Amino acid sequence: MFKKILQSLSRSQTAKTETAKQVPAKNPAPAAHQARGVLNQIAQPAATPSKSQTPEELCQITPKMSKDQIKAQLKLLYRRYNRSASSLDSKIRSEADQMLTAIVTVREKNFGEI
């Protein structure tokens, strides 16, 4: 079973290197931009939590965003701050706790209770 997994990983890595060699080097940025899609649009770092900002502002959620965009933004932020919640640095840990609380608040407001 592990042999099949390793073979699959090996094939995927060789395919990536072969396609990277085929892509012209003069303008690789647009291809990377298209590949990431929605995540590329929302990957800007979130605002630093403060007491005066609403949970939507902390999560960079705007009224114009669709449900899919909101879900993708919350998913990205959750991954980022859930990792930070177990940090040894108390400042990073408290910031992560504030952001995780804001994420839960926005999620419950837009998608109902968990």
Tokens of 96: 């992560």
- pLDDT confidence of residue 53: 86
Q: What is the pLDDT of residues 33-70, one digit of tens each?
A: 444 554 444 445 555 555 678 898 999 999 899 999 99
Q: How far is CA 88 from CA 1, 96, 104, in A?
A: 38, 12, 23
φ/ψ of 91, rounded to 5, equals -65, -45
**Better-predicted residue by pLDDT, 25 or 10:** 10
- pLDDT confidence of residue 113: 80
Closest CA to 59 of 105, 111, 113: 105
pLDDT at 72 over 90: yes
- Residue partners of 53: CB distance under 8 A and separation at least 6: 47
- Residue partners of 43: CB distance under 8 A and separation at least 6: 36, 76
pLDDT at 88 over 70: yes
pTM over 0.95: no
Cα separation, 23 vs 102, whole angstroms:
41
